[in-house]
């Protein structure tokens, strides 16, 4: 999926919501916890109920890797279940020397048909470029994350700018807007104006709305560009809107609230 198709999808759906499928088996509703396939049953119900309100799904691979081989199978089954046309992100935060990054890219782009993968830029250009070689796939590079630890490195000076600004400026020269996105956290909405001066045309994947307290209004006000340019992720707020048997209906209600608000910002 390229930028044009993603933008068209967002405008048709009146939403730039990405639902995070960070499924924790310990947090499943009681009636699913003891089922052998409770995780996949939960995921499918969440997907079915939120399809009208989002444009994509982000799978945090750690939650599935922690469950061993069965978890990996559930992740693959979840990706296959997501309908064609919805943007599928592997939140894997990979990045290593070139030949290793190539294998990571093959695993998620070829074997599981994700549309995008999150990548750490810490090891530099040769750790990121192998991901860029795959046609119609996005590499989503960590820039300004939503966690407190962002202050340890990302917000430290690097010459006459902050490190995350240097990451944005440098990495954006490695590929096109059809290849690269950046992770920029909603918990620092004051940075979005600065971010847009550095990467005015790229899509931004924005975590931190919902449980982490980020403002959808502020992110949208400062982050939307001519191509919309935002994918706002919500995970726990949607997944665990209810712990009862009506969990899918509750998830749909929260996703609908996000979609309704986003629709207003697209006018």
* pTM score: 0.95
Residues classed as catalytic: 93
- Element holding 237 (H helix, E strand): helix 236-239
Strands 87-94 and 116-119: parallel
State the Rg of the chain over Cα.
18
Average pLDDT by consecutive 10-residue portion of the chain (267 residues)? 94 96 94 93 98 97 96 96 97 92 96 96 95 96 92 93 96 97 89 94 90 83 94 94 94 97 92
Specify the pLDDT at position 214: 77
- DSSP 8-state class, residue 201: S
d(CA 34, CA 134) in angstroms, rounded, equals: 40
Q: Please list the residues that pair with 182 across neighbouring strands.
A: 141, 204
Angle formed by the axes of helices 68-81 and 38-50, to 10°? 20
Please classify residue 102 by burial: count the beta carbons closer than 10 Å to its beta carbon, then call 0-12 exposed, 13-18 middle and 19+ buried: middle
Q: Are 258 and 216 in contact (CB under 8 A)?
A: yes
d(CA 159, CA 152): 16
Q: Which pLDDT score is estimated for 226? A: 92
Measure the CA–CA gap between 213 and 191, rounded to whole angstroms: 16
pLDDT at 187: 83
Q: Which of 72, 48, 59 is nearest to 21 (CA)?
A: 59
In this prediction, residue 208 carries a pLDDT of: 81
Are the C-beta atoms of 37 and 252 separated by less than 8 Å? no
Per DSSP, what are the bridge partners of residue 117? 90, 139
What's the pLDDT score for residue 198?
97
Q: Assign 159 to helix, strand or coil.
A: coil
What is the per-residue pLDDT for 146? 85
Residue ranges of domains in the chain, CATH in brackets? 3-265 (3.20.20.70)
């Amino acid at each position: 999926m390229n930028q044009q198709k993603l933008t068209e999808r967002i405008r048709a759906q009146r939403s730039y919501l990405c639902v995070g499928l960070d499924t924790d088996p310990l947090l499943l509703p009681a009636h699913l916890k003891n089922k052998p396939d409770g995780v996949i049953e939960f995921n499918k119900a969440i997907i079915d109920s939120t399809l009208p309100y989002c444009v994509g799904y982000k799978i945090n691979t750690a939650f599935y890797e922690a469950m061993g081989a069965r978890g990996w199978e559930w992740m693959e089954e979840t990706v296959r279940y997501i309908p064609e046309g919805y943007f599928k992100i592997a939140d894997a935060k990979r990045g290593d020397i070139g030949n290793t990054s190539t294998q990571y890219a093959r695993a998620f782009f070829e074997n599981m048909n994700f549309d995008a993968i999150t990548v750490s830029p810490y090891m530099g250009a040769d750790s990121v470029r192998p991901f860029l070689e795959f046609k119609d796939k996005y590499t989503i590079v960590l820039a300004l994350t939503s966690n407190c630890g962002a202050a340890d490195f990302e917000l430290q000076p690097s010459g006459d700018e902050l490190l995350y600004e240097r990451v944005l400026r440098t990495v954006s020269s490695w590929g096109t807007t059809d290849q690269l996105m950046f992770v920029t956290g909603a918990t620092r909405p004051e940075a979005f104006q600065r971010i847009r001066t550095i990467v005015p045309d790229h899509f931004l994947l924005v975590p931190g709305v919902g449980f982490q307290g980020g403002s959808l209004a502020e992110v949208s006000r400062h982050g939307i560009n001519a191509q919309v340019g935002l994918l706002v992720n919500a995970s726990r707020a949607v997944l665990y809107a209810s712990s009862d048997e009506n969990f899918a209906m509750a998830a749909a209600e929260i996703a609908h609230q996000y979609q309704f608000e986003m629709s207003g910002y697209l006018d």
